[in-house]
Homo-oligomer: A and B are copies of this chain.
Amino acid sequence: MIITVASFKGGVGKTTTALHLAGYLQGRGSTLLIDADYNRSASRWAERGKLPFRVVEDGSSQNVLSGFRPNHVVIDAPARPTPEELKALAERGDLLVLPTTPDTLSLAALESAMTLLAGIHGLRYRVLLTITPPYPSQAAEKAREELEQAEISLFGRDIPRAVALQKAADAGSLVSEVRAPRALLCWLAYCAIGNELTEILLESWLEGG
């Protein structure tokens, strides 16, 4: 399967999401992460440590992949794509993952962009709430309600804000490999997203023929 991770605003955990979804998919088959973001965050992450899958930059010559046919591909799309770019991204993959934080600015950028995507026929996407503040903040629930009212499809689970994800970035590894207070919780959240993702695609394939 081909998963595209894109966002209309930076700093919402797009690269982190792409990396961990690739890590999850790697457990189900060989996976390739294509780093198409301009600042090469995913590539730098990979350079710092050891990731269980391959990471290549988008513009890199194809011969680096000679003989490598991955079962899954995750694309870390460029930030803030134009509607045309987004349409191309959506058509390039099986599912579009749109991470967003539960703050007003990110939600506003997301909602205004979603109106542009409404015109794309047969678009498969899911919004992922990320960096949600811990209890007792209700920001995540408020954001979820607001998005559901706008009839925007979103994953059933959020990615919490935790230092474990920062440590993973520091170490250049996945959060599942990090010793930090809530690392396991973060990894389980990404696994839940991965499971939901496969279910969505399985369902769409069944009905789509």
Query: What is A's interface to B at a CB cutoff of 8 Å?
Result: 8-12, 15, 38-39, 41, 44-45, 79-80, 101, 103-106, 108-109, 112, 137, 139, 163, 166, 169-170, 181, 184-185, 188
- Once A39-B109, A80-B10 are accepted as A-B contacts, the answer to whether A163 and B137 lie under 8 Å apart by CB is yes
Of B8, B39, B44, the contact of A8 (CB 8 Å cutoff): B39
B39, B80, B104: the one contacting A166 at CB < 8 Å is: B104
The reply to whether A104 and B169 contact each other, CB–CB distance below 8 Å, is yes
Nearest residue in B to A166 (C-beta to C-beta)? B103
Q: Could you give 5 example pairs across A and B, Cβ below 8 Å?
A: A10-B79, A10-B80, A11-B106, A44-B108, A104-B170
> Which B residues touch A104, using CB under 8 A?
166, 169-170
Chain B proximity of A195: nearest CB distance (Å): 14
Residue in B closest to A102 when the chains form the complex, CB atoms: B166
Instruction: Judge whether B15 and A105 touch: CB under 8 Å.
Output: yes
Contact of A9 among B39, B112, B181 (CB under 8 A): B39
A39–B112 touching, CB < 8 Å? yes
Q: Bound complex: CA of A101 vs CA of B108, how far in Å?
A: 21
Whether the Cβ atoms of B11 and A109 lie closer than 8 Å is no
Chain B residues, Cβ within 8 Å of A101 = 11
CB proximity of A52 to chain B, nearest CB, Å: 19
